[in-house]
Structure 1
Amino acid sequence: MIRFCFLFSLLSFACAAGEGLEKDPEPKFRVLGYLFSQDDWESGLEGIDWSVYTDINLAFIQPDRQGSFGSNEAYREAVKLAHDNGARVFMSIGGGNPPEYLAELMKPEQRDHWAEQIVSLVDRYGFDGVDVDLENSLINEHYAPFVIELSRRLKRSGNLMTAALASWNGDSISDEVLALYDWINLMSYDDTGPWNLEKPGQHAPFEMAVSDIHYYRDQRGLPAEKILLGLPFYGYGFGPGAPGSLRYWQILERYPSAYLQDSLSFPEGGVLYYNSPALIQRKTELAKEQGLGGVMIWHILADSKGGQSLLEAVKRGME
């Protein structure tokens, strides 16, 4: 009896102690990165700093013309690696240069089938949700019905739905649709670029981040914690002698001291604009000060290695 009471006491103590144990809380400040790859997810995942990234978007996973997706065990491997490191993984559809037939898949005749196929892929490989990165002409009269249907199916299976949105196309998104997203990845960049050579200048200035946050939080009423501020890891050039577009690592490879400022001028008269580590840190600090849910990075593989890494600047901004 004494032995039984002693064991019972030990078990009671263990249970009481266990009641006080909780899982690690959700990060108060998320760092989401788009892994932009042509199905080479494995090599792209190798260099990810899992001590910083809390969410990964595989960009982009596109359907065929019928709205169906092929099998790819790389998705399962990516999900497992991320989950093992405490991160979430989303399949991202669309992008800035999507297949032209996505417009047809959003129409009533194929909408339900495509939404069903998306959710089926999420369930098959264990994705945490879907990132809707439908832009430009795809934000049309079929956008809202498609998002509503996709949301209905995803929420039924307990998965998340996010969106990549800018402020310039925000007025095309109704409050009803905006409320369906668990958060938005705010594309606070591309104010100009190679498509608009008559408007040379910084494509992602600090003032744009301030304005974009104001639009979605204050004008549209989106809770601050549902906004992830987008940070560009690339630059655009304008004028003679300037490269049209470079990833950040390419900029430093060609011009090693470029990290000291946000632009480079060329003898021929052209200028290359990008975000330096100092500007990325300042924007990260802004996101924290404004109570945002975190930051979003386009894109992971565009960063450089070493002390001048833009991800290192994000880390400093989170301190």
Structure 2
Amino acid sequence: MSHSTAGQILAQTASPVTERFKKIAAIIQHVRPDILLLCEFDHHGDGGDDGALDNFCRHYLAVAQQSNLDEQTLPIDYPYRYLPPSNTGLLSEVDFNGDNQCTLPEDGYGFGDHHGHYGFVILSRYPIDESQLRSWQHFLWRDMPGNQMPAAYYSAEAQKVFRLSSKNHISLPVVVGDRTLQLLCCHPTPPVFDGEEKRNLRRNHDELRLLVDIIDNADYLYDDKGVQTGLASTDSFIVMGDLNADPVDGDGSKSAIKQLLHHARVNRSVSCGKKTPKSVGGRFARIWQPRNGRASEWTHLSGLRLDYVLPSHDLRVLKSGVFWPDRKDPMRPLVVDEKGRERAQAGSDHRMVWVDIRI
């Protein structure tokens, strides 16, 4: 739900007429997650709702969707919402790409045509405790020990201000009864669209490493309030995000995503065990390049596992899945166009990942 022109998503959600948004809403209503992360949802770059998310909740999620299905999906309400500030489209005063001018998208702290482009949002049916939010939006890439920043590509001036997180890394507390869950959310840059210096591949690697180091409460960290902090060893958490990394296939570095998936505090059954989210529909996707990973675990039309919901090891997992209906499923129209083709324009090039936990 992003557009190269600021304000377009606000305009498109102002009335319930966009078929693609209806399909997205119907998927959400069908799966009915209590806590939901939506990536690539344009909003104010400084955080907060410009009205687009409220429009989407009011005109789409609060309305039963037909979407060519035999039965309607039921409305769903998310009274608690958080829209974090984002580095995307935030223009730097320093020339990052060496063309002697500061212009978007190349000279933004995160790639975007306007501030807030490709942002992410969280919706919840449980209270969000924003007073205890921690974020690492301003953390400098150079301040990560052993970082992979291509120093020969970025000038000394650029290295002094370049932020690691391409959007934001946040730890958002959600209160479920007498328990608090830390939602560890981010959306690292894709490890492509760069040159021989591999700046995006390297940044993706270090954004994933930042996730791991937040879980480990690494001593070099500082959050946006200047506090040395990561997760406490007693925190229950759920990593959520389009991490743009597949542990088997794709262009990215495999080491960082494997370090996360095999982390001692991550629920192994969900990250790489029997309860790894799967679908039936992914097996029938028409992938044009050879892949070695399991098709049932793909979450993207390119035949990659990019999207993750990873509970901490202390949370009891009941079941999981990827919403990717097969050809005979009555929900199939939600992921294909009018000609039955699986295309990004039909709804999304990603598939929803869900995990049920019991508190």
TM range (shorter): 0.3 to 0.5
Which structure's residues are more often helix, by fraction?
Answer: 1
Computing the radius of gyration from Cα coordinates, the structure with the larger value is 1
RCO higher in structure (CA 8 A, sep ≥6) = 1
TM-score computed with the length of structure 1 as normaliser: 0.36
